[in-house]
A and B are shown apart, each in its own frame.
Chain A
């Protein structure tokens, strides 16, 4: 099983809503990532978890709140988002937190904030 599964695939929410994006992997990977990708832009790192602990927060606004309940799951809680937060949110995992390992990406969750 070499998949990273993200749900939902599409999400539309208002600025006052609270929603969550979910990511799951069963490859035994110990590092998991959230990337944000806007149209015609490269993916940009948001958060990194290593061994279920938050390792990196790339100055992401507090309206995005990550959570890693266990080694297989990664959530991104969304609250009071802005229309400019509309983007493709990509989850990824790697065997370990290192600079020489390939990342396995999910299909992404397409978020639209109205």
Chain B
């Protein structure tokens, strides 16, 4: 059973509009969440993270929101640009979640296409 779920395999957005990528998790022991971006033929690249003690973290055009009670996080990209077209992975970790220390649990990814 997947502990980190990205239920939308793909998302298409017009340039300049907002992209919202969603991620749900099941394990309440997760306390740190990250978003990675992956272009074809490249490894995942860290984008932004959030600790469970916060509900929002912003970095330029990228904002991550965390709703602990709903076990849900989202990544907002505004304004979206064609260069943002990539696969976005949500990942979670936790010191005591029962998994291995240093182990990130990834979602399956959402492919974002930003159309000019």
Contact = CB atoms under 8 A, between A and B. Distances in A.
Contacts of A50: 102
A43 B93 contact: no
Interface residues of A, number: 29
Contacts, number: 71
Interface in B1-57: 4, 9, 31-32, 34, 36, 41-46, 49, 51
Interface string B98-110: 0011111111110
Interface of B: 4, 9, 31-32, 34, 36, 41-46, 49, 51, 89, 93-95, 100-109
Interface string A85-114: 000001010100111101111111000000
Contacts of A41: 108
Nearest to A43: B106
Interface of A: 4, 6, 31, 33, 40-45, 48, 50, 55-56, 58, 90, 92, 94, 97-100, 102-108
13 contacts: A43-B44, A48-B100, A56-B103, A90-B44, A92-B43, A98-B102, A99-B102, A100-B51, A102-B46, A103-B44, A105-B43, A107-B42, A107-B43
